[in-house]
Chains A and B, each alone.
Chain A
Amino acid sequence: MRHLEKGAGLASAPRDFLRDLNADNLSAGVVAGIFGLSAGIIHISAGTAAGLPKDFTLLWVISYLFINGLFGLILPAYYRLPLPVANSIPGALLFAAIIPVVGLNEALGATLMAGAISVVVALAGWMSLVMRLIPMPIVMGMVAGVLLKFGTNMVMPLQNALIPAVVMIAAFFLSARFLRRIPPLVVTLVVGVLYMALSGADFASVEFSFRMPEFIMPAFSMDAFLAYGLPLALILVGMETPAGVGLVKGMGYKEAPANAITFVGGIGTMVSAFFNLHSTCIAAPMTGICSSPEAGTHDKRWVAAVIVGIIFVVGAPFYGFVFSLIEAMPSYFIAIIAGLALLRVISSAMHITFSGKHEVGAMFSFLIAVSGLQIFGIGASFWALILGAAISMLVEFRDFDFSRESKAARVAGEAT
């Protein structure tokens, strides 16, 4: 346990929460919370794309909000840092894609192992080693490749549903530009539903419902572990934690607890595996919102992250309403919403993939992930990481942190 960072503790957290609560961190928390609620649409569209049953997808989103919300109450309160918790979006897409191949229980078994790997890595303090062996650009190349299809699915409706597609995409861009506090995705959703209502969509199936996460038993299989568990572990350890830690550090929280974030995420992911959910981890986009100057005074921004957790836990059982609303919409509606929701994620993934080191490896990782290649029944995401890293070692070994040239350059850099 010696690698886990110490925090302020939970004993006085409720009292401090009320003391530190103010208009700034409340509004930032609500914005981030709404963002998190709208991210459920990505899960729904990933589930729809993979042809998964509606009932499963609904339970998945409810678990996402409830389980991630619970951990999201604990992590920021314990450390008094703006560390909101959600799940991994790339992980969600891998999860949805692998279920038809290996089965739900097997996929959840792989989730359990990915969580266990995170816990081990955190307890051993190995975070930095993992990130050196499979560098960020290669991981992000894989992520960008997996996400690209959602981007192209978004523009496809321009072919046969031009007007609603243009209305929704324009609403997104305009609100991204002119409305400050409301997430553009929410505006797009409202505009899209209004358009559908005016053009005569059938809302008869929209209904309120109350539902809690349900227990499910994971099963183990090697195929599921290689094609999904291992990539998920790499995503959680090699991407989600570094992205979140990078963000809070950038906002001036120098003592961000990298190992503890991985540890809590790992435990959360293991719990998730029993409730139909693929992961628990720090949520990079919401971290951006909760830790920014818009969330008020530096030492009180943690409150915003706790508010995200409250919104998640309270909103989770009622998500069936949003779900039935989206179900009532034509199929291109969800393709557009999902593409817009992922546009920033795709952009930043491509940014990290192609800005600097490991260029060749990252490029191959991206191309392999897009190609959907399968070898020995193992999916493209795995080969993207493995072949990407191998090719990078062959062609651009000097870019690795542990290569001699890189060390020499670092020494020279420090000397000057």
Chain B
Amino acid sequence: MSLLKDVSIPAITAGFVAVLVSYSGPLAIFFQAAQSAEISTTMMTSWVWAISIGAAVSGIALSLWLKVPVVTAWSAPGTALLVTLFPGLSLNEAVGAYLTAAAVIFLIGITGSFDCIIQAIPPGIASAMMAGILFQFGVGVFVSLEAVPALTLGMILTYLVFKRLTPRYSLVALLLVGVGLAVAVEDASLEGVTLSLANPQFIRPEWTWNATLSLAIPLVLVSLTGQFLPGMAIMRSAGYNTAARPIVTLTSLTSLVTAFFGGITTVIAAITAAICTSKEAHEDPDKRYVAGVANGVFYLIGGTFAGTIVLLFTSLPGEFVAVLAGLALIGAITSNLSAFATHKDHLEASVITFIATASGMSFLGLGSAFWGVVVGALAHALLHRPLPGLDRRAARDPARRTS
């Protein structure tokens, strides 16, 4: 068995750190979604179990099969999307949308059309929508600063200092210091946190147009552009020329199963992937797949004790979770904002997408992420699409573009 031969301490550590970072930052967003859906602790535990098991199974299978470190996780921008949709959306509708999204991603994966689709989305529109979805979490940090100044300020400082010193561990440090501060300053009690096994809850899916347009379609879009695109890019920049097809296909199949227990779409990891594909995981690139397997194993453990994780988060103040989620997303918000703001050519269409998405408006029962893309695509077509005749004139008269 070659896995036993290839196993190494650094690879296992890398897998552990990746899971810890995921549970520290991105999970906080999922908790905010759960809070806005006003669900029970048991149901929340089922959700955490589902996303963890989805990441565990797909990650272990893909890493062993492809012999490369494939780190999978749940769609972080997808969970951010949920926060605005609940409680208007029912759990059954959400699960229906998860299934639709998984089926669409499966079709994209099996037909191998991933790269074509990524190229067809106007540049700027996707990142502007993503920035618009994630934006409120960043603002939430400073809204909390007024409510609980000591805790928030302490966490912001911790984040900044550790970002400067050890960027990789900044989220983990933030979680530890934050829990300490919450206990010391805000009188949070951790006495109720005990070992507790997960008890998955089956949710009957319900398919509606509303959930398909507000959740499923934006979910596919943000998962492709916010997870699969950067995730594959990280793998490729680390020297793994793996095809997207098996990864997209297998993760979507996993999602089809976990969806019934409240698990949002399983995807390739973006935030944590680099930890397992880098040199720190192992000197030999051919042996880093062990980090991917280890990552999956730790998710398996995390999923099994999902109840404990939920108890930990629920015994801490709501602001703690908000600040943690916001700071965990600062990097993603910045990179998405600069992804569209640096390009002058599509700027106005992108900005209007961002504004419409961030506004949190809803119309015909459909959420702002959907309308952001609609308004943005229209503005893009009206303002920036090349038209014969007109653009010959514009090309002759370069001053027109600068004024």
Contacts and interface: CB of A to CB of B under 8 A. Distances in A.
B341 interface: yes
Interface in B63-103: none
Nearest to B330: A363
Nearest to B393: A180
B143 A373 contact: yes
B362 interface: yes
A79 B143 CA distance: 48
Interface in B370-397: 371, 375, 378-379, 382-383, 390
A227 B139 CA distance: 20
B344 interface: yes
A158 B341 contact: no
A155 interface: yes
A242 B390 CA distance: 33
Interface residues of A, number: 48
A235 interface: no
Contact of B361 (A159, A348, A351, A355): A159
B242 interface: no
A394 interface: yes
Interface stretch (A88-96, A286-294, A302-310): A286-294
B355 interface: yes
Contact of B348 (A156, A347, A371): A347
B163 interface: yes
Contact of B379 (A159, A162, A173, A373): A173
Contacts of B352: 151, 155, 343
Interface in A361-411: 363, 366-368, 370-371, 373-375, 391, 394-395
A255 to B, nearest CB: 21
B342 A347 contact: no
Contact of A174 (B330, B371, B382): B382
A110 interface: no
A163 B284 CA distance: 62
B164 A395 contact: yes
Interface in B342-372: 342, 344, 347-348, 351-352, 354-356, 358-363, 371
Contacts of B146: 373-375
A395 B371 contact: no
A176 interface: yes
Contact of B355 (A154, A351, A354, A367): A154
Given A289-B403, A368-B142, A373-B143, A346 B164 contact: no
Contacts, number: 122
Contacts of A176: 383
Interface stretch (B49-57, B301-309, B313-321, B331-339): B331-339
Interface residues of B, number: 43
Contacts of B142: 367-368, 370-371, 373
Nearest to A147: B355
Interface string B208-250: 0000000000000000000000000000000000000000000
Contacts of A177: 382-383, 390
Interface string B23-57: 00000000000000000000000000000000000
B145 interface: yes
Interface string A309-351: 0000000000000000000000000000001000110111011
Nearest to B362: A159
A355 B363 contact: no
B355 A346 contact: yes
A305 B383 CA distance: 28
B121 interface: no
Nearest to A351: B341
Given A176-B383, A350-B341, 4 more contacts: A156-B359, A177-B383, A354-B334, A356-B342
Interface of A: 148, 151-152, 154-156, 158-159, 162, 170, 173-174, 176-178, 180, 250, 288-289, 292-294, 339, 343-344, 346-348, 350-351, 353-356, 359-360, 363, 366-368, 370-371, 373-375, 391, 394-395
Interface of B: 138-139, 141-143, 145-146, 160-161, 163-164, 330, 333-334, 337-338, 341-342, 344, 347-348, 351-352, 354-356, 358-363, 371, 375, 378-379, 382-383, 390, 399-400, 402-403
28 contacts: A152-B358, A152-B361, A155-B352, A155-B375, A158-B375, A159-B361, A159-B363, A173-B378, A176-B383, A177-B390, A180-B400, A292-B402, A294-B399, A343-B351, A347-B348, A348-B347, A350-B354, A351-B347, A354-B337, A363-B333, A363-B334, A366-B337, A367-B142, A370-B139, A370-B142, A371-B145, A394-B160, A394-B161
